[in-house]
Chains A and B, each alone.
Chain A
């Protein structure tokens, strides 16, 4: 019989290694996907996951239960991923992008693609665009929150997101056209 979050939490606060392993087993798979979305390579994602869970165990006594444990852990993972990306963002400073042409035609449904294909598309985005797309479209942060988190202006966040969306749509269309060519 599996333990509840509360029981696992108590064990982790005491530093019980068995409880810590159970917590890891329960949430590591979800968090690994988050890490893969932010990291450029698999090795980097593993490092982020490792660092995140160490932080989780160090700070779990501070978890007050205001939100679900899974969201608290996810926030730590995202912050760790952003810290890892921050140096790279500094190397490639984000600037305002001129208004991009909106792709013509109807959007292709995202559900037509597998998770691996979607992950690959995200990973092909430039670093700045990828982070902002992840935060806005998938995590659900607002642009002003992203601007604060990354020390940017709200305008930069918006323009970078537009660029990400444009690039993703192009990739999706290319993928579909490539697929139809292969099957003709």
Chain B
């Protein structure tokens, strides 16, 4: 029949082949206006994007400045604390100072021979060799005007005078040059021992004396400057408790104290809420239509237009999760964390088919689940069915046990900190429910096992930005906007629906640093 009438179609087709009719002028005007509006919208969107970028940059700058100021304040407090403890004008200090003085005097007495004789000898050596090193040591006024080690000694002297008040105090009560020499003689380093030996042995060649004295002074200088605490441990343990020299931060100590604050392990709790997009769209024909066809074949006794396929659809819903987290620092910048979370997601769904059992006058909405047809078949085989169209809404709740594994990169590690996380999560289905949220209708899938439709396990890719605030040394509050995208389908293969859910949410948590 179709072939015989082909000429009819051909005639109509030819009649309209290349047919033209001018549209009214205002159509182009409307198109032009719409295109102009689109261009303006694009421009607006771009402006909004740049505004957000600017706002984010300003926020980041403010956070950085606040963190920097906070750090500086901590450092100032530390210096002030050290200064206070280092120069106490207390009875204890006075006793300690008197101990030092008496000890120094004893040392002077004990070493008088050692010191004075080389001093005299050195004058002789100096006379012979034009070397003023030992003359400088023997100068009672403490003036150092020799060549050779002049700069070295003067620098040491100046620093001691300016920075080390206790040292100056000692020098005031004793002979400054002697004090220095005593220190040399008391130190354990080999250079000084050699120096003492050389000083005792005035018969040593002048050039050798000069060389060894130079070494001794050099080594003493380094030793006294870097680690003055080890000169007199039993005394300095009281007076030199600070990790740094007076008013001069010992950067090494500061760095160490900071690194001590970086806790290796932490544990905490968090909860998150957000949106859950099942990513299914409308179900394709196939299983869904097949389920309907099975009903038709097995029961047959219903009235409707049999051209209407079952069309069901999942829509975006909510998600909620809560659980425990555990993590640690792999390095200064890299974190690794995991946890155990309970999560519940509630995507809605719709159906367009309602089945009414005329015998019991009960109405049922088909949900499109794969096993639905067999349930219908078994449950209503003897029934007199009527199938009608009508959009019905379902509420679904899927419960999962999630195990996230995240790696984080520390962008900012201060009181306020910023970490960029990325990783994956394993989601294990532990339960589900489905009910008709419109009321008045029942549905067959309510009693079906979720495992018939949904995969037992699916995996998420996840990424998040963690904004944190450290308080009370060991506690940490975090706000973490996160995005998840399923790597595989959360429904079983061959199910009516295939979808890779997308989840966007915000997590709030508190951690304890061990």
Chain A residues close to B by CB (< 8 Å): 15, 17, 20-21, 24, 28-30, 32-33, 36-37, 46, 49-50, 53-54, 57-58, 93-96, 107, 109-111, 113, 115, 118, 136-138, 140, 151-153, 155-156, 165
B27 at interface by CB-CB < 8 Å: yes
Q: Are A137 and B35 in contact (CB under 8 A)?
A: no
Q: Are A36 and B21 in contact (CB under 8 A)?
A: yes
* Shortest distance from the beta carbon of A37 to any chain B beta carbon, whole Å: 7
Q: A17-B35, A24-B31, A165-B8 known; A140 and B21 CB under 8 Å?
A: no
Q: Mark B5-39, 1 if CB is under 8 A from A, else 0.
A: 10111011111101111111011101110110011
Residues of A within 8 A of B16 (CB): 33, 37, 115, 118, 138
Q: List 8 A-B contacts (CB under 8 A).
A: A28-B27, A30-B18, A33-B21, A54-B35, A54-B38, A107-B8, A137-B12, A138-B16
Q: Are A46 and B8 in contact (CB under 8 A)?
A: no
Q: Are A136 and B9 in contact (CB under 8 A)?
A: yes
* Shortest distance from the beta carbon of A43 to any chain B beta carbon, whole Å: 10
Residues of B within 8 A of A107 (CB): 7-8
Q: Are A29 and B39 in contact (CB under 8 A)?
A: no
Q: Are B27 and A46 in contact (CB under 8 A)?
A: yes
Q: A24-B28, A152-B307, A165-B5 known; A30 and B35 CB under 8 Å?
A: no
Residues of A within 8 A of B95 (CB): none
Q: Are B23 and A118 in contact (CB under 8 A)?
A: no
Chain B residues close to A by CB (< 8 Å): 5, 7-9, 11-16, 18-24, 26-28, 30-32, 34-35, 38-39, 305, 307, 309
* Shortest distance from the beta carbon of A131 to any chain B beta carbon, whole Å: 14
Residues of A within 8 A of B30 (CB): 50
* Shortest distance from the beta carbon of A100 to any chain B beta carbon, whole Å: 12
Q: Are B39 and A15 in contact (CB under 8 A)?
A: yes
Q: Are B34 and A54 in contact (CB under 8 A)?
A: yes
Known: A30-B19, A33-B16. 6 other contacts (CB 8 A): A21-B28, A54-B31, A93-B305, A137-B12, A137-B13, A138-B16
Look across to chain B and name the residue whose beta carbon is closest to the beta carbon of A117: B15
Docked Cα-Cα span, A84 to B513, in Å, equals 62
Q: Are B307 and A156 in contact (CB under 8 A)?
A: yes
* Shortest distance from the beta carbon of A108 to any chain B beta carbon, whole Å: 10
Q: Are B12 and A17 in contact (CB under 8 A)?
A: no
Docked Cα-Cα span, A95 to B30, in Å, equals 38
Docked Cα-Cα span, A32 to B28, in Å, equals 12
Docked Cα-Cα span, A152 to B306, in Å, equals 10
- Find A111's partner among B15, B24, B34 (CB 8 Å cutoff): B15
Q: Are B22 and A29 in contact (CB under 8 A)?
A: yes
